[in-house]
Every structure is written in C-alpha cells, then in structure tokens.
Structure 1
C-alpha cells in the first residue's frame, strides 16, 4: 500500500470487495502543504496524506434503530457530538505507522467507511464503501510553541467541527509534529458512526492484531448494516412490537400532572449543575457492599428517590439511555446500539434499601424493552400524549460508567471515611441549548476514581435552579445517611400521589 499526498479526499464508488489485508506503507512519500495557517497560530504548517483502504464488503440500506436514535439526538441538539482522544506517541514514531492504523480501521469496520445519502421526504440511507482513500493530517507546530495549548486548541476545534456525513468518512486522524518529531495523535470520531464502547473495541482490535500480517485476530464483529437487515426480519419486528406494548402500558398508568406554565428565570435558560462528590461515592460503595450489588444499582435507587421526593409522584418514571450491547452478537460492535428505555419504580415510604432492590428489578424490564423502531416509538408517544392531554417530558437518566462496563464496588470504606468526606461543591455552567426538561448524568471521568460526578442539566424555565441543586444534594445526603443505617427511609410521604390529584 502506498500513501499519496494530496489535499482532497476521494471516495471510490466501486462496490467490489477487495480483501482486508494491510500491506506495509511505503517509507518514502511526499507531503503536500494544505495552506497557510492564520497569523499568530502555533501551527507552522499542515499537510495531508491520502491513505487508501480496501474493505471486505460494500452495500447500502436504511439506518438501524441505534443509528436512528443517535442521528435524532445529534440533529435535536444541533451539536456535532464528536468524540476526541489524544494519544502521546513513543519516541521514533513514524507517519507510516499511523497510516497503517488508519487503514486498519477502515479495512475492518464498515462503520468507518460509511457515508449517508439524504433525499427530500425520505429517511437517510447509509452507504458502505468497499474502497477509497481517507486523509491523514499532519500538523507541524513552531519549535517554540506551547504544545499543550496548541493541542488543546486543536481538540476544541475538532470537537465542534461537524463531519460532512455525505462526503467525509467518520474518522479523522491528526498527527502533531514539533521540531521534526511526532509527539501526539488526535483521533476524532463522528458520534453517529459509533459510541465510546465501540471506539474502545475498535482500538482493542488494533492493539491485538497479528504483528506479522497486520490482520485482526478473528472475524469482524457484526456491522451496523447487518443490524438493519436483522431488525427487518419477523423476529426483529416482534421485538420492536413487544417493546412498544411495554411502553404503552407503562405510560398509560402514570399519574397525570398538574398543568404548569414555563416560568422564565434570570440568566441563561439552559443550565448545568456539576457535583463532584466524594461522600456520594463512599456512601454508595458501602451500600453496594451491604446489598451485594453494583454501585450503579445504588445510584439508580438514589436518583429515583430524589426524583420522587422532588415531584411527589408515584410511581416515579424516567427515560434511561440503555446500551443494547448485552444482546447476542452486539458486545463488540463498532456502531451505536443505545436507545431510550422506560424506567418505572414505585418509591415507597419504606427504606432506601427497599427502593434500590425494587429499582434493580424494574431496570431489568427497562433494558429488555429498549430495542425498537424509533419512528413507531415516536408515533406511540404522540398518541399517548394526545390521549393524556399533556406532554410527558420525562426526566432522562444516563449512567455513563455502566454503559461501558460493570460498576462493582471497590474496597469498602469505613464509616469514619464517609463521615469525614466533605460535601462536594456545585459548579454552574450555561448551555447554549438543551432539548430536555431535565437530565441526570452520572459522568465517566477518566483517571478519577475518588468521587462520583453528577451532572444535572435542565431547562430552568421548567426546572428551576434550586430544584436542580436539590436533586443532586438529595442523592448525596441519602447516600451518606444510608451508609450508616440500613433503616434509612426514603422521606417520601405515604400520601404521595400524582401532582394533579
């Protein structure tokens, strides 16, 4: 395989399979400058190499259910949702090595060589290309430039620069070079192409490839286009129909709410409260040891209780982001398989331990029925809202660490450690836009295993700032109280009913 130096990417329309072997990249090639950097930039020059790829198959088809979900989320948010990762390179790193890596990803994973086609009045079509070229960019920094600042600026730029879904393959790789030495690699992925777990699986495949042939060990996992075909089968339709019946039954049973009008608050309408809490982690860990469950199960029970106390509604309902990677054949897919699940639990006036155990049973149903045709689900929600005469506007809950792997508790902290941990401080940030009324996110912070980070994002015209803070603080204080005392109650009054009754 050779690497050509041009400034424009090209895409072959040839749909013929050309194999998956990765040959050595020629050690000698020219680099063509892309243009002049802006004045004052730490970048001295940028160059682009066109790296060829040849995959195992080509084809086209509609979007699968997970793709429908993430495509809608990206469009609704008006954000690229790009995922960026920076890797420090070892001494002696050569451009050819990373051309090989980029080629490997496109050769093996159809998601990385997929473009979209849009036609008026029709849903998007995904097109998998068998062969073509993809750009590898090299950024040369001035010798005296602050590399840390320059790389941070590059990351910020690529996080916000949307991919051209019709013309640009969903992966960018940017090599950073200073004083003639490659120092870092920035990899940018279009979130439409895969989620974080898929990106991790892709990199793991690359790390464990055969060192002699450069080929991956074992067959490729299922591809997104394969899921489109599976979901169109009678078995796939039955799964979707069963999920939608569950949603319809549960939504119909929820209590009606008292109608409320939006109340403007001063300042930014869309806000995020970030609580990094050591006592929440320590308390949840002690509870998880007592109940022999994951920390994620404890956090879910804490969230449900805090929400029930805030709203006074029973049962308590929320949408959850569910990764369908637990389903057969999906564990290592490079793609998006997450969809909304409906979580419903009755938070009683009993103990928090009881609610955590009830939440574990309830969330099993949430996961089972979070796999469905998105367009039919939208039609169902619209029909339910018409029948109820109100917008559902359910709170959204997303436990990011549990999407990646299990959250088994670490070493059990002592009661003294829980007592000595100071409550976390809340940091407020403005959001340019937010398309939910309320969302609670348990964040996944790399290299930080000493605290749990809770993000409370809201449209403050519907959920005021004081309620946002109350939710986070209630989760924290309940965790601390229940860490000491298994008889800690939820604080939900026995008479709690629908807000409108």
Structure 2
C-alpha cells in the first residue's frame, strides 16, 4: 500500500535564466541518449529513523539547494531555460512493505522511479519514497534527475544533509553562473577554450576507433569490470611516483586504448569537474564538462607516458569550461572539412571521490600484484543491452573501495564487444606490467 505526504518547502533564490554551461552540457547528453539520466537508488535507514525525520530531510533538501527547486521552460524553438522557484510542495511516497521484504520493495520502487518518464516542465527533479515495515521506516529511495547535480555536488549534498549544515550556501548557483558566462570574462573563457579545441580537432587523427567487426542488436551495451590487480598495480605506481592514482589510471587507459585501436595519438574526452574554478568548489549543481585530451603514447616507456599524461590532462582541464552549443557547432564545422568518419565520441570519467586519494597503507608488493592477477579476482560481465543510445565509448571509473570497478558503455557498431572487453583487460595488463617494472622487490 502507498500513501503520500505533501511536504512544503521554501528557500533562498528564484528566477529564470539560460541554462548554465554545465546544465546545458547535461541536457544535450540527455537528448543524445534519450534519457533523463536518473541517479540515486535505495538505501537502508539507520535504526530509530522516524517518518518525521524523512519528511524533514526532504524539506531540507528542497529548501537548501536551488537545483532541487529547478524546472525547465522551453521557448518556441525548443530552447530550454532554468526556472528556479522560491517555494512549493512535493509529495513523499510512503510504501508499506507488508509481508514482503522491505529491501526488495525499496528496489522495486527505485526501478519504478527510474523507468517512469520525467516531465522537465511540471515535475520537481527528485522522486523520494520511504518504505515501512510494521509502521517503521526501513529504507529510503531517492532518485534525482542528473540536472540537479554532478557526482561531486551529490557528495557535498549528502555530507551537508548528514551534518544538517545551516550555514549560508557558498559559491555561484546556476542562475549566477549563467549571468557570469555572458559577461566579458565568461566570453573570454569560452573563446580561449574553443581556440584550444580547434587546434586539436584539426590535427588529431580522424578516427577514434578501428571499426567494429561484430555489430549487434540491440546495438548499445553496458559492461562491468572488476580487478583487484588493476587496483593494486595503479596504487603501487602512484605511491612510487608520489601522486594519487588518477593520472596513473588515465595513462593506463591511454596505453590500453592505443593497443586496442592502433591509433596514435589517442584522443579522448575526460570528464572535468571544474570545481577548481572560482566560485564553483562548493556548489550543488552540474558544472562538469568533457575536455579533450591527446596523448602520444606509441613506443614510450610508461614513466614517460605518465609525464605526458599529466601535462596533457592539465591543459585539457584548463579548457574544459565552455558553451556546449558553441563547441558542437565547432565540431560540426571541423567534421565537414575532415570528412564523414571524423568523431571524438570517446569518453573517460574518473568519478571516484572517496577512493581516489593516495593509499594510507604500504604499497602492494610485486608478489601481491601477481597473486591478485593469477587468482579469480578479475571479473567482467555484460549488464545491459538496449536500443536507446549510449555514447560510442564511455569508460567510468567507479567509487568502489578495495578494488577497481569500471563501468563501460559502448556502441557495438563502432566498438565490438570483444574489443571493449579487451580494452578493460588491457588496462589491467598495462598497469601490472608498469607496476612490476617500477616497484622494486623488498630486499
């Protein structure tokens, strides 16, 4: 049985303006993928949580964060604007599990939330429900439209909710971001980014992939890879180099991509959170965009690849803040000049937050890395096959402790299932080779 509790909320900030660059980038991805890109899921609630606690949590989220109170408006040409409301009401679903398993009831509610179409104009961008057993809350289900926030913003939101932070919101909210992006400073940033992109777009190899010899129907596949050996190897290299594992893993990805495609330099689009920019460090919204990174890896030893990766990544990050429509226009213009095979739909997203820092313990020994490699601690499975499109190749590094989990989305008409799987095992191979070359045996 399900009931609803109507929760009233009121918060600071309201108005109408263009989408910010981060919002617009997500909106364009949603249109390409025919999805509102729901994020979230079901989680158990701490013992003693009351229904009143859940109501107040929802009220807190809606009142504190402008993006939770943001809907869209479309003009006659279909161009979206953000509409931030200062107050309103939202329904909290209350579901009694009865004699069913409350965890299964919560998962079913989560699936229903994610699979039900979302109306960007009339609905708030969050669906929230609580599951009861014998009248007591056991599980929370919360699904957000990705337009609310990116991963870094979501982590901040959760931390502030847990601590019940009441200090004033910091940083530029999307309405203010949109105004800045039209300012002379914003125009200069956009123009500098587009100049960088055009230089690369006109000189990189035309193709990202060698081509698929095994196109499938349904066409678009999702896979999940787990490897303890990759985790230990990248951490060992990072500890040896005195850095966190993020640039190491990006270098590993570049080498594995080159081995899989035979194309050099490898060119991919890393997701850049942009929170190193003034006013964006502590905002709950979408500010991430995909940069463009070109790596010359052919024949280079791994330490040199790592040096090149760090240098290329920093340049890519600097120029990953731009007007997405202007960039799309530039890419289309270059593609007309360079031919129909030109594309840059190869993405890489290290979305770890809690597990990307340097290890606090001793680095893995060569023996431990070899043991992880030879054991049964590397797995791969295909999880989704669908007709709705993914990008041609999108590799996500997941925030999972004590292992390396990678989620891969791909178009089998550009990357075959065999090549996609080989890419992930190839990352493990590259990292282990480099770790065993760089990490000395204990004396």
Alignment partners' CA distance in 2, 1:397 and 1:484? 25
* Counterpart contact for 2:7–2:92, Cα < 8 Å: yes
2:304 aligned partner: 354
Q: Deviations over 1:14-71 (max 9, x none)?
A: xxxxxxxxxxxxxxxxxxxxxxxxxxxxxxx211121111222321011010000111
Deviations 1:153-207 (A, max 9, x none): 1111112223321111112221211212122222221111112322221232233
Q: Is 1:351–1:486's contact at 8 Å kept on the other side of the alignment?
A: no
Alignment counterpart, residue 278 of structure 2, candidates 328, 332, 341: 328
Larger helix fraction of residues: 2
Following the alignment from structure 1 to structure 2, what is the Cα–Cα distance between the partners of residues 388 and 235? 32
2:51–2:136: 8 Å Cα contact kept in structure 1? Answer: no
Aligned partner of 1:365 among 302, 307, 315? 315
In structure 2, distance between residues paired with 1:169 and 1:266: 37
RMSD: 2.3
Deviation of 1:450 (Å)? 2.3
Aligned match of 1:181: 136
Equivalent residue, structure 2, for 1:94 = 50
List, as ranges, runs of 4+ consecutive aligned residues in structure 1 with deviation greater than 4 Å: 257-264
The residue that corresponds to 1:157 in the other structure is 112
2:35 to 79, 92, 105: 79
Pairs within 5 Å for 1:296-335: 296-335=246-285
What SS class does the counterpart of residue 394 from structure 2 fall into?
A: strand
Tell whether 2:373 aligns with 1:419. no
Instruction: Give the Cα separation in 1 of the matches to 2:217 and 2:120.
Output: 35
Kept after mapping to 1: 8 A contact 2:335/2:343: no
| Counterpart contact for 1:108–1:220, Cα < 8 Å | no
SS in structure 2 at match of 1:275: strand
Looking at structure 1, the residues matched to 49 and 71 of structure 2 have their Cα atoms a distance apart, in angstroms, of 31
Shift of 1:441: 2.0
Q: Given the alignment, which residue of 330, 335, 338 partners 1:388? A: 338
Once the two structures are superposed, the pairs formed by residues 372-451 of structure 1 within 5 Å of their partners are: 372-394=322-344, 395-401=346-352, 406-411=356-361, 412-422=363-373, 424-432=378-386, 433-445=388-400, 449-451=401-403
- Please give the secondary structure, in 1, of the residue aligned with 2:232: helix
Quickly say closer, same or farther: Cα 1:256–1:93, change in 2 above 3 A: closer
Secondary structure, counterpart of 1:111 in structure 2: helix
Deviates further, 293-302 or 260-269: 260-269
SS across alignment from 2:438: coil
In the TM superposition, residue 249 of structure 1 has moved relative to its aligned partner by 0.3
Q: Which runs of 5+ in 2 are unaligned?
A: none
What TM-score do you get using the length of structure 1 for normalisation? 0.82
Contact 2:11 2:62 in 1 (8 A): yes
Bigger relative contact order, structure 1 or 2, given CA contacts below 8 A and separation 6+?
2
TM-score by length of structure 2 reads 0.92
1:259 CA drift (Å): 11
Q: State which of 413, 419, 433 in structure 2 corresponds to 1:467.
A: 419
* Alignment correspondent of 2:179: 229
Deviations 1:291-311 (A, max 9, x none): 112211111111111112222
Stretches of structure 1 that go unaligned for 5 or more consecutive residues are 1-44, 211-215, 488-501
Q: Shift of the alpha carbon at 1:484?
A: 1.4
Aligned to 1:491: none
For residues 220-254 of structure 1, the C-alpha deviation after alignment (integer angstroms, 9 at most, x for no partner) is 44311111111110000100100000000011111
